[in-house]
Structure 1
């Protein structure tokens, strides 16, 4: 499929395409009604760096499906035949839909190619029966039935809303690679490609945004939280990859002279039950790949903003009174599950070509165990995989999951 092929060549396209070719592609796609005028303006006006324009363009088209992706490929062949050939997009002549070579086995839910192990019908039913069948069967004065225990048998796990064909799962990836004052995060493109393939295989349409300031990240999150698709979804993934400090994530203008730090609190405030009602009662999985301190001293590359460990930043103290007690805050932020790539004040490590160690191992565990393990068990398996890598240990934090979350790939 053309959209899968674009995903495969995405990194090379971003690295090689020129600004004039991008402008020509935008004209063609606008003429053929693949893109709307506001989408063209976003590529041209919102981004100044050539690579950012290229990422925005190819991701926007790819998410529109096979037909739009094929039109994009045909246009690229006309605008820059050499680049199309280098990317492997030039094949034998024939009808446009038949010009592409068959893609390699991939994750797609329709393809069922076992890149992600699928959950069989029997396993699906076994999990639902086992996890739900926890209700007291006899009247027990020591364990009286509560309102929660009187729910349906499947109440111990988060439900899947709507049939797969009509679900509208969305996921968000924000990845900062090119910084004005800090070192560029070489290899991060591999993380974006890997996470995109994983999430699409789990049934999510992925919104990808790269190279943003802290304010830009906040705007993108707000827009994503307002998406109407969440109303007919059952969950979301929020993936953040950048340089970092203990206080949060670095925007692309972060450096000695400019703070430009996105507080992690902003993530939870944007998607809590007050500000994102469409995701009320639905799992919100937060994945954060960044340093939270630590020193550089390895062949691998650290995602730390500074070689030195930053001083801990004091958090706002909680005012006295019952308005902000723990029970109230849990209610406000229910159904979050967060996995940081490292513990506080320590570094996260990244290979300059393969990408980050954390993202590589996360993808591996989801691929192999989403078929029969709930989310927090998968998180534990990710942590366990670092047993022989003492430089780094992922950390589960700020979790407010009320039930078990099974992804049930294939259902």
Structure 2
């Protein structure tokens, strides 16, 4: 082989090696950690947008409210234990609990809480309310001596009532029947602009309208059991909306031992951002 051919061979080999190592270095460079949601525009073209999250500042906690009716609801104490253990024990949320209240006592309880929240808004990034009791087709919860509509409870926390929480998330988890039909299975911080009164509300019902919800006397209700299990597994890195969709999936797979009866939770939401249960360190 002539000297010129040897020189050409060495030059080509060197170039190939340089390109090879460049590709290795590029593959090792860190990629952006910005999470994007892919979307499709009205003309069908695909794109991506950043999904903003509700702010959770260092030192801020969630505020947990549990309204429970244990009368003739064997196993409901297990639901309280599950909710309390996770939100208070694991997440260290501030907790207020009331059991078997009359309408007057419940209203007084809610008024005191909302007054506290308005006076201490900087301490909390969001509000989480569990409403557990017997329910009916009109979305009313039975309490001592009467009933109260779920929306009457929620009305204490809307942006016109809690102005210092405007723009902050308020989440409601309703463990109650919404009718008497048993469902069958089938095969297969500061806001600089006005916000709607009912914005930033998240409602998660144990079942769809018209149907019963299932409760096991020795364990608690399907909805609360599966909700807490999913939250414990995912809360560090998944937003509430994604976790609750997984709860839908898990509960929907359950079947009652009698006649293969089912249950389907439902989400009703006016949240405008992703909601994480803890500070994300961003």
Alignment TM-score > 0.5, same fold: yes
Contact 2:208-2:264 at 8 Å conserved across structures: yes
Matched with 1:237 is 128
Residue 274 (structure 2) pairs with residue 404 (structure 1)? yes
Residue 200 (structure 2) pairs with residue 335 (structure 1)? yes
Matched with 1:363 is 228
- Report deviation, 1:168: 4.4
Separation in 2 of the partners of 1:199 and 1:286?
14
TM-score by length of 1: 0.50
SS at match of 2:56: coil
Separation in 2 of the partners of 1:409 and 1:350?
33
Separation in 2 of the partners of 1:380 and 1:391?
17
SS at match of 1:332: coil
Structure 1 residues 182-193: aligned runs within 5 Å:
184-193=72-81
After superposition, the Cα gap between the structure-2 partners of 1:355 and 1:409, relative to the gap in structure 1 and judged at 3 Å, is farther
CA shift digits 1:104-139 (9 cap, x unpaired): xxxxxxxxxxxxxxxxxxxxxx997325x99xxxxx
- Report deviation, 1:336: 0.8
How many residues were matched structurally? 222
Contact 1:215-1:262 at 8 Å conserved across structures: no
Separation in 2 of the partners of 1:408 and 1:169?
8
After superposition, the Cα gap between the structure-2 partners of 1:193 and 1:128, relative to the gap in structure 1 and judged at 3 Å, is farther
SS at match of 1:173: strand
Pick from 97, 103, 109 the counterpart of residue 220 of structure 1: 109
Matched with 1:194 is 82
- Report deviation, 1:205: 1.4
Higher fraction of helix: 1
* Runs of 5+ unmatched residues, structure 2: 1-30, 44-48, 184-193, 255-260
Structure 1 residues 248-263: aligned runs within 5 Å:
248-253=140-145, 260-263=146-149
Pick from 391, 400, 409 the counterpart of residue 262 of structure 2: 391
Contact 1:236-1:284 at 8 Å conserved across structures: yes
SS at match of 1:209: strand
Q: Which has the higher contact order (CA 8 A, sep 6+)?
A: 2
- Report deviation, 1:394: 0.5
SS at match of 1:169: strand
Residue 157 (structure 2) pairs with residue 266 (structure 1)? no
SS at match of 1:379: helix
Separation in 1 of the partners of 2:32 and 2:91?
18
Separation in 2 of the partners of 1:352 and 1:127?
49
Separation in 2 of the partners of 1:265 and 1:230?
22
TM-score by length of 2: 0.72
Residue 211 (structure 2) pairs with residue 354 (structure 1)? no
Contact 1:245-1:292 at 8 Å conserved across structures: yes
CA shift digits 1:158-194 (9 cap, x unpaired): 1112x22xx243210010112xxxxx11111111111
Matched with 1:174 is 67
The runs of 4+ residues in structure 1 deviating greater than 3 Å are 408-411
* Larger Cα-atom Rg: 2
Separation in 2 of the partners of 1:400 and 1:232?
23
Contact 1:170-1:229 at 8 Å conserved across structures: no
Higher fraction of strand: 2
- Report deviation, 1:226: 1.5
Contact 1:294-1:346 at 8 Å conserved across structures: yes
CA shift digits 1:354-393 (9 cap, x unpaired): 1111100000010011122111111100000023235211
* Runs of 5+ unmatched residues, structure 1: 1-125, 135-141, 143-148, 179-183, 254-259, 298-327
- Report deviation, 1:409: 6.3
- Report deviation, 1:410: 7.7
Matched with 1:291 is 177
